[in-house]
Amino acid sequence: MTSLLPIILGVLAIVGYWLGRQRSRKVAAVGGGLVRLHSRPAYHGALTALWCSLPAAVIYGVWLVFESQIVTSLVVAGLPEHLQALPSDQLGLLLNDIHNLVSGNIVSQNSDSISAAAEHFSSLVSISHALLAVVMLGFAIVGIILALSRIKPSMQARDQVEKVVNVLLLICSTVAIFTTIGIVLSILFEALRFFQKIQLSDFLFGLKWSPQTAIRADQVGSSGAFGAIPVFTGTLMIAAIAMLVAVPLGLMSAIYLAEYAPRKVRTVVKPLLEILAGIPTVVYGFFAALTVAPLVRGFGASLGLDVSSESALVAGVVMGIMIIPFISSLSDDVITAVPQSLRDGSYGLGATRSETICRVVIPGALPGIVSGVLLAVSRAIGETMIVVMAAGLSANLTANPLQAVTTVTVQIVTLLVGDQEFDSAKTLAAFALGLLLFIVTLILNIIALQVVKKYREQCE
């Protein structure tokens, strides 16, 4: 029933638009033609539709947000005394049962008081829905009547409609800000709860990461070590291997495409390199885990080395392949932006093409290239699926790329997809890691954007 209400409101709004337009035309005809109107009939119609739909929509939204809370508290107040005095988690289970009974799901326990409470719940909900429908439609119709009564030739309908549209646009653009605030608050809130249980210095400087917390007091293996350094070194090692692969390949590809390649080769090869960036990372992870890792392991075994099947090398190389197009396209842009006069001066002095590139163009484009590399590093640090599928879970503090290491993103995924309760230090550790990840990538992005901005100012 409530899902029909927005559709009915939409239909009413269309009717209001039509009525408003007709009325404005009639009023204009009396006064001497359409030219007497301040605003065209469409704006009068739009104003009527807005008067009809906006107050009703606001009421609908607010009502639905608060409905379940109010109804639940009324139902709890109607429960018998001994049930109201239950501790909060048992009361929560009871409420779950009542909700399940109402929606026809399976319940864990049933009794007279629960069935009575469920009936009370459904009756309250239907009363509330009926009330909502009446209030909404009432406001909508009153809105149409009010708007119609105010239509006159001198009414500045267009200005009012445009003001409303302006406000709507402003509200939409605050969504981005609310997203950032939401990210910061949600992560910060949970991370602070974590830091109440574990010391900040233990987390930042501890050398052992073993996030087990005991469910019972006497459980074996319940030592909870939350030192994040092994996890960070794992992330940095895999990111470093990825950069070792991506920077030479990406930079040389960009140089060739920008300086040497004929037009046709460039129009064909550039989109092909972009395809590498468009492949979902889960595909790269599957490729790394099922094809590359056994190959590297077999190759290492034939050389006599002990390569883990979840080595940092495999994850790093595949991540590097994914990052090549980032560096290639960003470097391509900055290299083509270097003024031709610099190149011409170098050729005039007798330098070969490679010498011009190495000594004139690259130093000129260096800030842009560096910012591209920083953005790529930020992407490598935040990458999840490749490392979840190809890297390991044990936090090794090692510099050997052939061993298994774990990264920050892998730990976040394992801690939150697992089965510990939400309050324990183990699960909250994921939010603390997420906070550090967010801060590090934010700093890298800001530095990269600042470098680009300063470079652009230098060039102009």
Partner 1 sequence: MSKQNRENRSVSELVQAGLKRRYRAEKRFRLCGIAAIVISLLFLVILFADILGKGLPAFRQTHIRLNVFFDPAELSPETLARADYHGIVKKSCRSLFPEVTGRRQKKSLYKLVSAGAPYEIRKIVMTDSSLIGTIQELWLTAADDLDMLMKGTISRDPGGRFNNDQLAWIDRLEKDGRLRQQFNFTFFTSGDSRDPELAGILGALSGTVLSLLITLLLSFPIGVATAVYLEEFARKNRWSDFIEVNINNLAAVPSIIFGLLGLGIFINLFGLPRSAPLVGGLVLTLMTLPTIIISGRAALKSVPPSIREAALGVGASPMQTVIHHVLPLAMPGMLTGTIIGMARALGETAPLLMIGMVAFIVDIPKSFTAPATALPVQIYLWADSPERAFAEKTSAAIIILLIFLICMNASAVYLRRKFERRW
Within 147-206, the residues that bind partner 1 by CB under 8 A are: 158, 162, 165-166, 168-170, 172-173, 175-177, 179-180, 182-183, 185-187, 189-190
Question: Where are the strands (E) in 80-231, listed by range?
Answer: 209-211, 224-226
- Position 437 contacts partner 1 (CB under 8 A): yes
- Position 66 contacts partner 1 (CB under 8 A): no
The residue (of 52 and 257) whose beta carbon lies closer to partner 1 is 257
Q: Which of residues 393-422 bind partner 1 (CB under 8 A)?
A: 409, 412-413, 416-417, 422
- Position 257 contacts partner 1 (CB under 8 A): yes
φ/ψ of 213, rounded to 5, equals: -125, 145
- Position 299 contacts partner 1 (CB under 8 A): no
Q: Which residue among 14, 107, 225, 249 contacts partner 1 (CB under 8 A)?
A: 249
Q: Would you say the C-alpha torsion 358, 360, 366, 369 has a positive or negative sign?
A: negative
Scored b (16 or more CB within 10 A) or e, 33-49 reads eeeebebebebbbbbbb
Smallest distance from partner 1 to CB 349, Å = 11
Continuous segment of H or E residues that includes residue 307: none
The residue (of 162 and 202) whose beta carbon lies closer to partner 1 is 162
Q: Which residue among 33, 260, 267, 366 contacts partner 1 (CB under 8 A)?
A: 260
Instruction: Report the alpha-carbon distance of residue 292 to residue 286 in Å, rounded.
Output: 9
Smallest distance from partner 1 to CB 111, Å = 26
Q: Which of residues 335-374 bind partner 1 (CB under 8 A)?
A: 350, 352-355, 357-358
- Position 7 contacts partner 1 (CB under 8 A): no
φ/ψ of 211, rounded to 5, equals: -80, 60
Q: Name the segment binding partner 1 (CB under 8 A); options: 90-98, 331-339, 360-368, 427-435.
A: 427-435
Taking alpha carbons only, the member of 363, 367, 417 closest to residue 388 is 417
- Position 430 contacts partner 1 (CB under 8 A): yes
Q: Name the segment binding partner 1 (CB under 8 A); options: 104-112, 140-148, 330-338, 428-436.
A: 428-436
Q: Which residue among 290, 301, 393, 399 contacts partner 1 (CB under 8 A)?
A: 290
Smallest distance from partner 1 to CB 277, Å = 10
Collapsing DSSP to helix, strand or coil, 87 comes out as coil
Alpha helices in 198-311 (DSSP H): 200-205, 229-255, 263-278, 281-287, 293-303
Collapsing DSSP to helix, strand or coil, 311 comes out as strand
Instruction: Report the alpha-carbon distance of residue 44 to residue 22 in Å, rounded.
Output: 9
